[in-house]
Amino acid sequence: MIHNFFNYKTKIKDTPFKTESGKVYENTAAISLLDENKKEIAYIELGFVDKEEIYQLIEQERAINLDNCYVENFSLTEFRESRNIEKKSFVKIHQFSAYHTFFDSRIETDFSFAEFDDEYINFENASFLNGTVSFQSAIFHKGGVNFSYTHFNDGNIDFSNVNFGDGELNFKNSWFGTGHKNFQDTHFGEGNVLFINTEFNKGDVTFVNSIFKSNRVSFKVAQFLEGKIGFHFARFHCKELIFERTEFGNGKVDFRTTEFGDAKVSFNRAIFGSGDKSFEAAQHKGGKLTFRKSVWGDGNVSFEQVEFDNTVLFLDNADFGKGNLSFNNSHIKELSLKSCHLDYYVDLRLSKCNSIDLSDTIARDIIDIKPYNFPVEIETINFSGMRLIGRIYIDWRINKVQELVYSQKDATKREFAEQFRILKENFSTTGQYADEDEAYVEFKRNELDADLKDAIEKNPYSRMWKLPSYAFQWLVFDKVGLYATNPLRVITSMVFGYIFFSFLYVILPFFTDAKIVSSLGDPDKLGIFAVSFYHSAITFFTIGYGDYYPSGFFRWLSSFEGFVGLFLMSYFTVAFVRKILR
C-alpha cells in the first residue's frame, strides 16, 4: 500500500469484477491515488460492495468476506438505528475477512460494539481511506486479529475498551495517519501482541489503563512522531515486553505507575525525543529491565519512586542528552549506568539499592547522592574509570562511602585506588576537605598494595626489596601520620617515639656497655630514668645542650633518634600547614 498519497478519486463502474478466488461482483470500484499535484501515482480496481448487502449478511448471521473489495460508509451505529437496535447493543459478526479491502467514509468507518466470533479476523493490507475509524468496545474472541500492513489514513482511531480475546493481535507494518490513536482501557488477551515496525506518525497515542496478558508484546522498531505517548496505569502481565529500536518522537512519554509484572523488558537502542520521559512509580516484580544504548533526547527523565526491589535496571551506554535524570526515592535492586553520558543533573538519592554501577561514565554536571529529607540506603557504588568533569554531592560518613566502595566483590586494589582518587578530587572541588583526607588515605593505601602486587607478579624475586619498602611506607607514611592528613596522629607518633627511645636508654645499659655520660660531672645527681628521658628529649628535638652525651652503642642510637625526631617534626609541620592552608 502506498502511504504518501495526497488525495484519491473513486469511480464505480458498471463492469463486473472477479477476485482471484473466483468470486464475481456486479460493479468495479476504480481508485486512483494522487500526489499533491493531482498526478496519479497508483491505480487499483476492487469489487464494489454496497453497505446494505453487508448489513443483510449481519442480520442473517452469515459469513462476511470482503477480500479485495471497496466498502463505503460502513457503520454499525447506522445498522443499529436502521434495525431499531439499542445504541450500545453488541452486533455479532461471523467469519469476517477484509483482506486488501478499502473502507471509505465521509465521517467514520464504525465497528463499535461489534462482537466477532471465534474465527480468525483478517484486515491484512486493508486501507481506511477517509474518515475516522472506531472499534470502540468491540469484542474479538479466540481466533486472532490481523491488522498487518493496514493503512489508517485519517489517524483518528478508536480501539478504546476493546477486548482482543486470546488470539494473536498483529499490527505489524501497519500505518497510521495524523490523529489520536486511542487504545485506552483495552484488554489484550493471551495471544502475542505485535506492533512491530508500526508507524504511528503524529498525534497522541494512548494505552492508558490497558491490560496485556500475552507471552510477548512487541513494539520493536515502531515509530512515534510528535504527540504524547501514554502507558499510564498500563499493566503488562506478560513474559516479554519489547521496545527495541523504537522511536518515541518528540512528545511526552508517560509510563507512570505502569505495572511491568515480572516481564523481561527491553528498551535497548530505543530513541526518545525532546519531550519529558516518566517512569515515576512504575512497578516491576523482578528480573531485568534494560535500556542499553538508548538515546533519551533533550527532555527530563524520571524514574522517581519506582518499585524495582527485585529488578536489575540496565541503562548502560545510554545518552541522556540535555535532560535531568532522577531516581529520587526509588527502590531498585541493582542500577547500572555503565559507560553513560551524564551531561546534566543526576539524582541518585535512592531509598534502597543494592548496587549502582557508574563505571566508565562521563559526568559533566552534578551527581547527587547526599541525603536530604529521607535516608539513602545504597550498599555499593562503583566509580571505576569515571571521567568526572562535574561534581558528586556525597558525604563520607552519611553515605558510608568507604563501605560503598569496599563492598564491591570483584574489584581489584588498583580499581579501589582509582575510585578513591576520583572521590578525593571530587571532595577537594566541593570543599569537603575532611572527606578529601579520608578518600586520599584510602587511595594511597590501595595504591601501595596494588604496586606491591604488580611488582611481585612481574618479578617474583623483587619481593626481597619490595616487601621491606612496603613495610617502611606502611609504617611511616600510613600509620605514623595517615599520609600527612592528621597532625594529631603525627604528634601521637612523636610521643610514642620519644618514650620508646627513652626506655631504650634505660634498658640497654644492663646488656651492653653503652651509657649516657654527663660532661659536667652530673651536678644534679639525676637518676637513670631522668637522665634517659632528658637525653632522649634534647636528642629527639635536636636541641643538643651538650651537658649529657652518649657513649658506646648509644652514639648510633642517638643519631638515629635525632633523625627520627627531625623527620617527625617536619612531618607534623607539613600535616599542620596542609590543614591550616585549606
pLDDT given at position 1:
59
Q: How far is CA 516 from CA 43, 117, 504, 536, 550, in A?
A: 119, 113, 11, 10, 5
pLDDT given at position 159:
97
Q: Is 462 within a domain?
A: no
User: Total domain count for the chain?
Assistant: 2
pLDDT given at position 41:
87
Summarised one tens digit per residue, pLDDT across range 356-375 is: 999 999 999 999 999 988 99
Among the ranges given (457-466, 486-495, 503-512, 543-552), the one the predictor scored with the smallest mean pLDDT: 543-552
Same domain, residue pair 396 and 491: no
Which of 410, 445, 472 is at the close of a domain? Answer: 410
pLDDT given at position 203:
95
Same domain, residue pair 331 and 235: yes
Among the ranges given (31-35, 143-147, 250-254, 392-396), the one the predictor scored with the smallest mean pLDDT: 31-35
Give backbone dihedrals phi and psi of 29, rounded to 5 degrees, phi first.
-100, 120
Q: What is the mean pLDDT of residues 326-355?
A: 96
Alpha carbons 105 and 400: distance in angstroms, whole number = 67
Task: Report the sign of the C-alpha dihedral through residues 310, 316, 321, 324, in that order.
Answer: positive
Q: What is the mean pLDDT of residues 441-448?
A: 94
Summarised one tens digit per residue, pLDDT across range 154-165 is: 989 999 999 998
Question: Hey, which bits of 86-140 come out as E strands?
Answer: 91-97, 102-104, 108-110, 114-116, 121-122, 127-128, 132-134
pLDDT given at position 398:
95
Q: Which domain holds residue 546?
A: 487-581
In this predicted model, which residue has the larger pLDDT, 580 or 572?
Answer: 572
Summarised one tens digit per residue, pLDDT across range 473-485 is: 899 889 988 988 8
Same domain, residue pair 399 and 542: no
Q: Is 274 within a domain?
A: yes
Alpha carbons 273 and 252: distance in angstroms, whole number = 8
Neighbours of 428 (CB within 10 A): 16
Q: Are 105 and 73 in contact (CB under 8 A)?
A: yes
Record the pTM: 0.85
Q: Write out the three cell numbers for 235.
A: 499493566
pLDDT, averaged across the chain: 92
Contact residues for 381 (Cβ-Cβ < 8 A; gap 6+): 355, 356, 357, 358, 369, 404, 405
Q: What is the mean pLDDT of residues 418-437?
A: 94
Same domain, residue pair 159 and 250: yes
Q: What is the mean pLDDT of residues 96-101?
A: 95
Q: Is 331 within a domain?
A: yes
In this predicted model, which residue has the larger pLDDT, 134 or 513?
Answer: 134
Q: Is the pLDDT of residue 436 over 70?
A: yes
pLDDT given at position 242:
97
Q: Is 440 within a domain?
A: no
Tell the residue number behind the cell numbers 600510613, with chain if given.
Answer: 478
Q: Where does residue 507 fall: left (phi above 0), alpha (psi -120 to 50 degrees), or beta otherwise?
A: alpha
pLDDT given at position 2:
65
Strand ranges of the sheet holding 362-363, from the earlier edge strand across to the other edge: 341-342, 362-363, 387-388
Same domain, residue pair 394 and 519: no
Q: Please tell me whether residue 382 adopts helix, strand or coil conformation.
A: strand
Q: What is the mean pLDDT of residues 119-132?
A: 94
Q: Is the pLDDT of residue 4 over 80?
A: no
Q: Write out the three cell numbers for 86.
A: 439499542
Q: Write out the three cell numbers for 107.
A: 465521517
Q: Is 103 within a domain?
A: yes
Helix 487-507 crosses helix 554-581 at what angle (to 10 degrees)? 170
Q: Is 425 within a domain?
A: no
Alpha carbons 84 and 484: distance in angstroms, whole number = 95
Q: Please tell me whether residue 497 adopts helix, strand or coil conformation.
A: helix
Same domain, residue pair 382 and 521: no
Give backbone dihedrals phi and psi of 360, rounded to 5 degrees, phi first.
65, 20
Q: What is the mean pLDDT of residues 18-33?
A: 88
pLDDT given at position 532:
86
Q: Is the pLDDT of residue 27 over 70?
A: yes
Single out the residue of 377, 296, 364, 365 nearest to residue 335, CA to CA: 377
In which band, very low, low, confident or very high, does the pLDDT at 561 lie, cut at 50, 70 and 90? confident
Q: Is 246 within a domain?
A: yes
Alpha carbons 50 and 72: distance in angstroms, whole number = 7
Same domain, residue pair 345 and 491: no
pLDDT given at position 129:
93
Q: Is 295 within a domain?
A: yes
Same domain, residue pair 402 and 534: no
Alpha carbons 64 and 119: distance in angstroms, whole number = 11
Q: What is the CATH number of the domain that holds 534?
A: 1.10.287.70
pLDDT > 70 in the chain, percent:
99
Same domain, residue pair 383 and 508: no
Q: Is the pLDDT of residue 187 over 70?
A: yes
> β-pairing, 301-302 with 253-254?
unpaired
Give backbone dihedrals phi and psi of 439, rounded to 5 degrees, phi first.
-65, -35
Summarised one tens digit per residue, pLDDT across range 78-98 is: 999 999 999 989 999 999 999
Give backbone dihedrals phi and psi of 473, rounded to 5 degrees, phi first.
-65, -40
Q: What is the mean pLDDT of residues 194-219?
A: 96
Which of 410, 433, 465 is at the close of a domain? Answer: 410
Which of 390, 410, 430 is at the close of a domain? Answer: 410
Alpha carbons 456 and 163: distance in angstroms, whole number = 70
Alpha carbons 496 and 488: distance in angstroms, whole number = 12
Summarised one tens digit per residue, pLDDT across range 497-535 is: 999 999 998 888 888 888 888 877 777 677 888 888 888
